[in-house]
Amino acid sequence: MFNKFLYQPILGVLVFIYNNIAFHDLGLSIILLTVFIRLILLPFFYQGAKAQTKIQRLQPLVKKIQEDHKNNKEKQTHALLDLYKEHKINPFSSILLLVIQLPILIALYRVFLTGLSSSVFINYNFLGVIDLNQKSFLITILAVLAQYFQGRMMLPKKSGTGQTTGADKTNKAMLLYLGPALTLIVLFNLPSALGLYWFVSSLFSLVQQFFINKNLEKHAQ
């Protein structure tokens, strides 16, 4: 099932792009494949990122509910669910997004690790400069930076009080540093083909987040 519906189709699309569109440049092929996958999954990614952004901006209200009902977990849970319902947020959207992404990431991992060892590709270069079958410090750092700036865009704007709680600092650290750190750890010893996919996907997310923020600001006025 996995090979039939994920691995083989993704490899087939990559080979088609490589042979017919990207001038036998593997890097360009991966970029186009990434854009293709993100466009197909755009409704899931967009709604998931939008829900996560809304949850970040509702943190002051979430903390107030947690404080008001700190001795009654049942009331706290109901109040939080009512808050999410009022703002049309699915609190489980991030889990759904992970469930959707994980099989695709595994398939891509197999494509880039096993597919690149086949004789389908004449070379593994990106613009004749970077060997995508090897590690690339440059691509890894670019992917880390893209992840960092995506996290910054998801953070709510500072309130007029200027007060920052311990929970705010933890939340900020999770968005700004945990994601990029995990990106660095995961990509550091992998072929840069996977890093290039990660980088382009993160850039796609940055553009997506820009439109999400604009949309939320427009409706907040």
The DSSP code sequence of 98-165 is HHHHHHHHHHHHHHHHHGGGSSS-S--EETTTEETTS--HHHHHHHHHHHHHHHHHHSPPPPTT----
Ranges under pLDDT 50 in the chain = 160-161
Closest of 16, 38, 173, 161 to residue 97, by C-alpha: 38
Range of the domain at 210: 2-220
pLDDT number for residue 166? 56
Tokens found for residue 67: 């404080």
pLDDT number for residue 120? 76
Contact 62, 51 (CB under 8 A): no
Tell me the one-letter amino acid at 109: Y
pLDDT number for residue 171? 67
Number of domains in the chain: 1
pLDDT number for residue 168? 62
pLDDT number for residue 176? 83
Radius of gyration of the chain (CA): 20
pLDDT number for residue 164? 55
Tell me the one-letter amino acid at 189: N
Which residues have a Cβ under 8 Å from the Cβ of 203 and sit 6 or more positions away? 146
Burial class, 159, CB count within 10 angstroms (exposed 0-12 / middle 13-18 / buried 19+):
exposed
